[in-house]
Structure 1
Amino acid sequence: MSATYDVVIVGGGIAGLSLASALAGQCSVALVEAEQTLGYHSSGRSARQLIPSYGPPLVQELTLRTLELIAARDGTRPEPVLSPRSFMLIGDDASVRERASGHMHPITHARAMELCPVLNPDAFSAAGLDTGSYACDAPQLLEDHRERAEAGGVDIITGAGVHSAQRLGSGWELGAGQEGFQAAVVVNAAGAWADQLAVLSGVEKLGLQPYRRTAATADVDRPLPAATPMVAAADDSFYFRRDGARVLISPSESVPSGPEDAQPYPGDVEALIARLNTLTTLGIRGVHKAWTGLRTQAADGLPVVGFDAEATGFFWLAGQGGYGFQTSSALAELAAGMILAGQGRGQGRGQGRGQGRGQDTVPPAGAARAPGPASRTAEALAATRWSIRR
């Protein structure tokens, strides 16, 4: 017998977990994750930096709102998720000017060398600095969302890959792992597997493309001081930042991939180390750990959030690209509002895995909501996307 919920979220990365915590206590929710561990794929392989000047204008707006929401929660935590860490862009005058935004200001070459004295002064001619950037404790943020979700009654089931999905009356029926689920709304937060889930569900895919991004932590002869900014090349050829006594480095590659448990290609990290040892005086000696994540995005590079126009009750929360943590809380706020307004859904019965929660059904479509950051985000998205299918 299938368990019945208002909403089933497919995907236990930062997108699915943040939505689960936003919906918790407001309707009955299950989250299913194919892996045994939450945040196993891209969410567990993050650069752990939230940068307001990074990405297109819409992503920057989502980043600012995400920072507001996380900072508000940090006031209630013994250990904050966010800690200040500036972001510095280096390159030639034209490339830095092209990449700089309103959240980044130009700085002199001398100032850049003061902030990061390990740089080879001949390696760049221009720099920009984003002082509103923050380091993010990604594991703690994931855990906070999990705790909030479960405290609000969300059932989280790991090791449960979705193997069947179909429309059933006014809702959906899913098979995941050894269990069955019925729901009015299915949320596709499956990351690199989002298009695969759509096809499995009989929904037209959107052409979301995963891209590889490799990173590593390495031992160095010259550790970076705690106040050193994260440094990135304006041509997207590398970044590095302090990681305790080590340094985190990345070639910032963007290589198309299929959905998979991505692993570093032989030689990629070694080539980056050789280059950084000419551009800096870090003295990188060897790799401590290396990994590769997948950054999945739509053709226009913007997140996909909303009900599918052609598949009632199928909600997309995917295509965050390399901006998953940056946009997560803002997109969850927006998505929760859309789902709770009842758009594109039937009435769930509010019963979880064999136990009724006694919750009311979610508000009907068109229910009034006070204007706020979520509606501003919706307006920004609407200006770019008329619907999930244009």
Structure 2
Amino acid sequence: MDLSLSRAEILIVGAGIAGASLAAAIGNAARIILIEGEDQPGYHSTGRSAAFWSETYGGPAVQPLTSASLTPLQDGGFLKPRGCLHVAGTAEGRAALDRLAAEFAGTGVVLEPLDRAGIERWVPGVRAERDTGLYEPSCADIDVAALHADCLGKARRAGVEIVRSARLLGAAREGGGWVVETTAGRFAADILVNAAGAWADDVARLAGVAPIGIQPYRRTVIQLAVDPPAPADLPLVMDAEELFYFKPEAGKLWLSPHDETACDPCDAAPEELDVAIAIDRMEHAVDWRILKREHAWAGLRSFSPDRAPVYGFDAKAPGFFWCAGQGGFGIQTAPAAAALAAALLLGRAVPAGLDPERYVPGRFG
């Protein structure tokens, strides 16, 4: 096929979880081309995620999307029960737990208060000062690779054309649609969807659209061997002051300093200082001995100015649709977010329980 002549009703830029799940949700309802700048879809963020499904993660603005994604994630077999323990050992941490409980009161999200003894039952070896907790039993691990592959597979079976190594060079309105220039050739589409993650503002600029202010942040994860080994049923342990989180993974421990370091879109790599900070914070939380640091990596999380995702047509750029700003919550919200975005793109009824006004790009003026 001569890619320079490829035409579609909808062209999606970015084949990470946002673009892949959207393409799958639209399916054969429209002729779609999904372009990806890298050789491997999901290379930068989706493929580096230590993802979990947590209704509290991301706050009240994200929770409806997370909750609405539960059934499709369960039905697809992508979730494994984990539980999440939010812990505090300072006055500031206890105040943060109080705020968390208040934010989700009346939402149906279960948060069980725990005292020191309750925390010890879940986390053997926890330091004495960690005396207050909230347990979130619904939290689960997500099989990210399987979910992403499933979305890409559904898209392909629906006839979506997926083009890799197609880095965007420019896009312009022409004849009531878009003409898109990439390193893989030229494309034409009625609607241009910006699902480019950390590169979302760059894509907007290349299309002559005003950027929203999508800011990438680096997040670090370290794989450790510890003694005693992390219990297989250990919950995700999150510090109430967002100083760290850790969870077991295939007999090892995955640890993050919960860092958010603003950066340009890039192939993110861990900084030694962040690794050292993470290990120090963990050692102040539990008395486990670190046997070996086995691996460290970093990914990008991209937030809009108000830290809620952005779904909808740009009010000032005809045919330009935003599907961006998912932060660290894009995987746990993918099914519901894709259903919402697909409904907005196709002019269909919005899924029940979701308020599209909360996520419109026009809220930034």
**TM exceeding 0.5:** yes
Q: How many Å separate the matches in 1 of 2:315 and 2:337? A: 19
Q: How many Å separate the matches in 2 of 1:302 and 1:251? A: 22
Select the residue among 120, 142, 147 that pairs with 1:113: 120
Deviations 1:95-142 (A, max 9, x none): 2112233422212221111011131122x1210011111110000000
- Of the structure 1 ranges 156-165 and 94-103, higher mean CA displacement relative to structure 2 is found in 94-103
- Whether 1:382 aligns to 2:354 is no
TM alignment of 1:94-243, pairs within 5 A: 94-100=95-101, 101-102=104-105, 103=109, 104-122=111-129, 124-243=130-249
Q: How many Å separate the matches in 2 of 1:192 and 1:330? A: 21
Q: How many Å separate the matches in 1 of 2:81 and 2:294? A: 25
What is the SS of the residue equivalent to 2:331? Answer: helix
Q: How many Å separate the matches in 2 of 1:31 and 1:117? A: 47
Alpha-carbon shift at residue 168 of structure 1 (Å): 1.0
1:382 partner letter: E
Query: Does the 8 Å CA contact 2:232/2:251 hold for their aligned counterparts?
Result: no
Q: How many Å separate the matches in 1 of 2:321 and 2:96? A: 38
Query: Corresponding residue for 1:289?
Result: 295
Long gaps (5+) in structure 1:
75-79, 342-367
Q: CA RMSD in A?
A: 1.5
Long gaps (5+) in structure 2:
none
2:252 partner letter: R
Query: Does the 8 Å CA contact 1:9/1:188 hold for their aligned counterparts?
Result: yes
Query: Does the 8 Å CA contact 2:87/2:238 hold for their aligned counterparts?
Result: yes
Query: Does the 8 Å CA contact 1:217/1:249 hold for their aligned counterparts?
Result: yes
Q: How many Å separate the matches in 1 of 2:307 and 2:342? A: 22
- Whether 1:70 aligns to 2:67 is no
Query: Corresponding residue for 1:85?
Result: 82
- Of the structure 1 ranges 256-265 and 88-97, higher mean CA displacement relative to structure 2 is found in 88-97
Query: Does the 8 Å CA contact 2:308/2:326 hold for their aligned counterparts?
Result: yes
Q: How many Å separate the matches in 2 of 1:206 and 1:177? A: 25
Query: Corresponding residue for 2:314?
Result: 308
Deviations 1:24-51 (A, max 9, x none): 1111111101010011011111122110
Q: How many Å separate the matches in 1 of 2:313 and 2:85? A: 38
Alpha-carbon shift at residue 382 of structure 1 (Å): 1.2
1:89 partner letter: H
Query: Does the 8 Å CA contact 1:112/1:127 hold for their aligned counterparts?
Result: yes
Query: Does the 8 Å CA contact 2:237/2:247 hold for their aligned counterparts?
Result: yes
1:84 partner letter: P
Q: How many Å separate the matches in 1 of 2:322 and 2:157? A: 25
Query: Does the 8 Å CA contact 1:307/1:388 hold for their aligned counterparts?
Result: no
Query: Corresponding residue for 1:360?
Result: none
Alpha-carbon shift at residue 386 of structure 1 (Å): 7.9
Query: Does the 8 Å CA contact 1:24/1:148 hold for their aligned counterparts?
Result: yes
1:185 partner letter: I
Q: How many Å separate the matches in 2 of 1:293 and 1:145? A: 21
2:51 partner letter: R
Q: How many Å separate the matches in 1 of 2:197 and 2:361? A: 22
Q: How many Å separate the matches in 1 of 2:321 and 2:358? A: 19
Q: How many Å separate the matches in 2 of 1:286 and 1:208? A: 36
Alpha-carbon shift at residue 274 of structure 1 (Å): 2.9
Alpha-carbon shift at residue 278 of structure 1 (Å): 3.2
2:18 partner letter: A
**Identity, % of aligned positions:** 36
Q: How many Å separate the matches in 1 of 2:224 and 2:210? A: 43
Q: How many Å separate the matches in 2 of 1:133 and 1:209? A: 27
- Whether 1:329 aligns to 2:335 is yes
What is the SS of the residue equivalent to 2:37? Answer: coil
Deviations 1:38-89 (A, max 9, x none): 11011111122110122221201110111122223x2xxxxx2111110110
Query: Does the 8 Å CA contact 1:305/1:388 hold for their aligned counterparts?
Result: no
What is the SS of the residue equivalent to 2:118? Answer: helix
Deviations 1:196-254 (A, max 9, x none): 00000000011111111111111112112221100010100000000121100000011
Q: How many Å separate the matches in 1 of 2:284 and 2:260? A: 23
Q: How many Å separate the matches in 2 of 1:27 and 1:105? A: 45
Q: How many Å separate the matches in 1 of 2:8 and 2:269? A: 36
- Whether 1:20 aligns to 2:27 is no
